[in-house]
Amino acid sequence: MQLLKSIALFALLSVQSLAEPIRVPRSNYPPEAGKLQARANPPSGYDTVTMGETRRALSGNTLFTDGLATCIGIVIRNAYPAGTGQFDKILEHVSPTLCQTEENPSIDQQLRNIWQLYDLQPFPQPQAIVVYPPTNGNAAQGAFNNYVIGQMQGYAGQRGCAFGSIERDHTYVDQPGGSRLWIDDQQNIYWSLFNNPIA
């Protein structure tokens, strides 16, 4: 039975890979050659999100994840920082797990988790952003990316949430600090070693 589920999911992922992702406009990303400013250390005072995990943070706090190579980062944020004591950002580190275990939720469960957390306290002006890796010709990565983007777009549409996606620049992904993603206290989303926010 598990084999049939895996085959069906692979077929669905293959069909989803035919869709074109919607891109979030951004400025100065990636920066022109020679304009890279490395961040030697991650932001201080952050909450860490591990693989397969979803966390939310109060206004003024930062959410951080690392190790995004083939995994996907998803941010749901309010368009502006909320008042003191209010949640205004959620970060999820989605791993391409087809089979659910106690330690690793399935892809679909991971995507449901972020919206279940959001639904506890919806934001006044929500924005959902999928930050995904390039495929580099890998059909499985493309299928995973497009499946997550398609599902997230559907969930966002059901809630009247603005939606977009950003393909990550993997130039520095194999360097220390090159596979990290965070959303800071001002709702800026940063990726890798780039000093400028990507959204």
CB-CB contact of 142 with 20 (8 Å): no
pLDDT, tens only, 81-129: 888 889 999 999 999 976 667 777 899 999 999 999 999 999 999 999 9
The structure's pTM equals 0.80
The full length of the chain comes to 199
Q: Alpha-carbon distance 12 to 59, whole Å?
A: 38
The CA–CA distances, whole Å, from 144 to 52, 70, 176 equal 14, 9, 25
pLDDT, tens only, 11-61: 444 434 434 444 444 444 444 433 444 444 556 789 999 999 999 999 999
| Sign of the dihedral through C-alpha 183, 24, 174, 195 | negative
